[in-house]
Structure 1
């Protein structure tokens, strides 16, 4: 039986909910847009870091993966790719060695098993500007206000506000503030 995105995603959600049960500061997000929508990570876990999970089932191709890798590497603290056996060799040729790999195998109609092939490690190449792009304009401006840095930026476009944040905070501080804002956000989709 071929693995499908929907089956892998359902099993991943079950595993993540079990793994993070009782943690009130953990947020699990489907289809988190990165770099102003240039790509979406299938599932993101936001707590003391942002761990992205990319699903490449046996029904998928690896055609878009090189472009996704470039974007994911700019933003996510760690990344795990979950794939069917048929993609394992192709994925190994494409992804950085710090990405984790999980092999998904369909056991029956209702169950998918996961086998960890490689644990993920911290991302060594995060881009601060790409991280702050996770903030909506009003959220970014509020962060400037909180630290009394908003003077001259209240009517500026979001890219200027993001630039001011990158100038004003270290990467670790930016990552912290962005994670905290994502966990507070109520309305995730804007039409």
Structure 2
């Protein structure tokens, strides 16, 4: 059982559990500026991510992945095969959900082993990195800010965080991300 094989089962599980809410599920989303990629990112009412570790995977990169996920996700989930179940819970924060993927017929059964909670430590500047310069400038212009062309993108993002605060920034990021055509075209699940 490889991570790629589990991805479809996780996507089906997510679709079934959140079918009544508009959302998009996008694979392999990079967290800037790190090289950490979110295996599956659901953008809807929240930013929720899944890291998938099959029995063939090693857990050596997991601590670095956890750091990246912690900075941007409202909810984080680790899906593991039976080989990693015992140790995995000790490698993730207690607010992360822990899921077990087991072979079941031609596919996989995904079961919750530990419920997750809202991330208490999101980094608004890290979330702002999901937004392009153009998107940030548009949001600032809508809030009356002018004369922004001389600012670097990191300065624009910091200004947006200062202007809107963490909750509104998350709402803006979710709204902008679901509108991206390049993400919509590669989404595994889209419900609008």
Pair in the same fold by TM > 0.5: yes
2:48 matched to 1:51?
yes
Match of 1:184 among 153, 161, 179: 179
User: Matched residues in 1 for 2:85 and 2:94: separation?
Assistant: 13
Structure 2 gaps, min length 5? 185-192
- Equivalent residue for 1:9? 7
- Residue 18 of structure 1 and its aligned partner are, at CA, apart by 2.5
Does 1:140 pair with 2:136?
yes
Structure-1 separation of matches of 2:136 and 2:181: 15
The RMSD of aligned alpha carbons is: 1.5
Q: Check conservation: 1:45, 1:52, Cα contact below 8 A.
A: yes
Alignment of 1:20 onto 2:18: yes
Report how far residue 183 of structure 1 moved: 1.1
Asked whether the 8 Å contact 1:36–1:134 carries over to 2, the reply is: no
- Structure 1 alignment gaps of length 5 or more: none
Query: How big is the shift at 1:59?
Result: 1.1
Per-residue deviation, 1:22: 4.8
How far the C-alpha of 1:58 sits from its partner, in A, is 0.6
Deviation at 1:90, TM superposition (A): 2.0
The two structures have a TM-score, normalised by structure 1, of 0.90
CA contact (8 A) 2:77 2:97 kept: yes
- For 2:154, the equivalent position in structure 1 comes to 159
Provide the TM-score with structure 2 as the length reference: 0.90
Instruction: After superposition, give the CA deviation of every residue in 1:7-66 in whole Å (9 maximum; x if it has no partner).
Output: 21011112222233353x311111111123531110011111111111011111001000
Question: C-alpha distance in 2, partners of 1:65/1:135?
Answer: 25
Query: Distance between the aligned counterparts of 2:23 and 2:183, measured in 1?
Result: 16
Aligned-partner Cα distance in 1 for 2:96–2:23: 21
2:61 paired residue number: 64
